[in-house]
Each structure stands twice: as structure tokens, then as C-alpha cells.
């Protein structure tokens, strides 16, 4: 026979006593379950999914820390000032690069325009001319368009890898695949004990 203690659980956030199976605390509004990568509903406090073995310990710590921590206004101001000076430095370097590239597209005796947009147009013309010359050279010396296509494909592959790392797909794939390994290892060890 089930007692009241068996059918009750405690909210992980506010400590309120909840009936078993309650998914949202009526006192603080926090969800008590999350959907794992495998689609199973697991408690928010679970560090490892009991169904697929996915590791949730890192995300739990990060989420708890980010919700409870308040911004340090002095550090925020310091980072904002450093960011503004860095942006100013990068803008001046970019202006120098644009001006240098634009000067290569000028005819003899022609003055550099004052407008940044016009200088940017001249800089892009210089870049386009350099890329066209590179393409011609690769086509002449490399035996056609094959080397040019290989360079473009290598650049596209590098860009795709950077995107996948930046967006965290690699970590999710690794965590999910390592969860499968843990699960199969634990099931094989339980079979060995039988």
C-alpha cells in the first residue's frame, strides 16, 4: 500500500512538497522534468539519463549558476570600456586596410575619395582584381579549374567545421555518442554478472 511519502516529491528549487508526477511547481513555477536527447522525460536534477546515459551534470551546474548569479556592475563597466576601445582600434585598422586597398585601384593622379563608402568600393575592386588574377594563374599553371575548385571546397569545408564547433553540434554529438557507449557498457557488465 502506497503511503503519502511515496506519492510526494520535493521541488528542487523552492522545496515545496508536491504530489508525485507534478511537472511544474505551483509555488515557484519551475519545471520539475526535462526532455532528454532520447525523448524521455527525466527529473531536472538527474545528472545522467537513466534511459540513454546522456550526461546532464554540466548543463545543470551552468543553468543553476546563471540563474542565481547577479551581474557585477564594476566588471560589466570594465568589459564595456575595453570593448569600446577594442572596437575603436579595430575600426581604425579596418579604415587603414580599406584605404590601402583603395589606393591600388586609383588611376595615376587620381585622389582618394573622402567617403568611406567610395573607398570601400575601390577596396572591393582591388580584392576582386586580385582574386581574378589568382584564378587565372591557378587555371594556367594548375591545368584548368580543378585547383581552383579544390581551394574553394577546402575553404567551404573549413567554414562548415568552424560553424559546427561554434554552434556546439560537435559537443552534443560527442555527448550523445558517449552516452550510448556508457549504456551498452553498463548493459554488458550487467549481463556478465548474471
- The model's pLDDT over 43-59, given as tens digits with 9 standing for 90+, comes to 888 888 888 888 887 76
* Domain residue ranges in the chain: 8-68, 81-138
- The model's pLDDT over 66-77, given as tens digits with 9 standing for 90+, comes to 444 577 888 888
- The model's pLDDT over 5-43, given as tens digits with 9 standing for 90+, comes to 556 788 888 888 888 788 888 888 888 888 888 888 888
Is the separation of the CB atoms in 52 and 36 below 8 Å? yes
Q: What pLDDT score does 181 carry?
A: 43
| CA dihedral for 34, 35, 37, 38, sign (positive or negative) | positive
Q: Which 8-state DSSP code applies to residue 22?
A: -
Side-chain half-sphere exposure of 77, counting CA atoms within 13 A:
3
Across the chain, mean pLDDT equals 76
> Could you tell me the three cell numbers for 28?
515557484
Instruction: Say how far apart CA 9 and CA 30 lie, in whole Å.
Output: 14
Backbone angles phi, psi at 24, to 5 degrees: -130, 130
> Range with the lowest mean pLDDT among 63-77, 103-117, 160-174?
63-77
Q: What pLDDT score does 44 carry?
A: 84
0.75 exceeded by pTM:
no
Q: Supply the angle between the helices 116-142 and 73-104 in degrees, to the nearest 10.
A: 70
Amino acid at each position: 500500500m502506497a503511503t503519502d511519502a511515496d506519492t510526494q516529491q520535493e521541488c528542487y528549487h523552492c522545496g515545496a512538497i508536491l504530489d508525485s508526477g507534478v511537472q511544474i511547481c505551483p509555488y515557484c513555477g519551475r519545471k520539475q522534468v526535462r526532455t532528454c536527447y532520447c525523448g524521455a522525460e527525466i527529473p531536472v536534477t538527474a545528472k545522467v539519463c537513466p534511459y540513454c546515459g546522456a550526461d546532464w551534470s554540466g548543463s545543470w551546474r551552468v543553468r543553476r549558476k546563471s540563474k542565481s548569479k547577479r551581474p557585477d556592475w564594476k566588471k560589466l563597466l570594465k568589459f564595456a570600456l575595453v570593448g569600446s576601445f577594442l572596437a575603436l582600434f579595430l575600426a581604425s585598422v579596418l579604415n587603414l586596410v580599406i584605404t590601402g586597398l583603395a589606393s591600388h585601384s586609383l588611376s595615376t593622379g587620381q585622389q582618394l575619395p573622402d567617403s568611406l563608402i567610395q573607398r570601400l568600393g575601390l577596396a572591393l575592386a582591388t580584392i576582386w582584381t586580385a582574386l581574378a588574377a589568382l584564378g587565372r594563374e591557378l587555371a594556367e599553371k594548375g591545368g584548368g579549374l580543378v585547383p581552383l575548385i579544390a581551394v574553394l571546397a577546402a575553404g567551404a569545408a573549413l567554414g562548415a567545421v568552424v560553424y559546427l564547433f561554434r554552434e556546439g553540434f560537435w559537443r552534443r554529438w560527442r555527448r550523445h555518442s558517449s552516452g550510448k557507449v556508457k549504456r551498452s557498457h553498463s548493459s554488458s557488465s550487467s549481463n556478465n554478472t548474471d
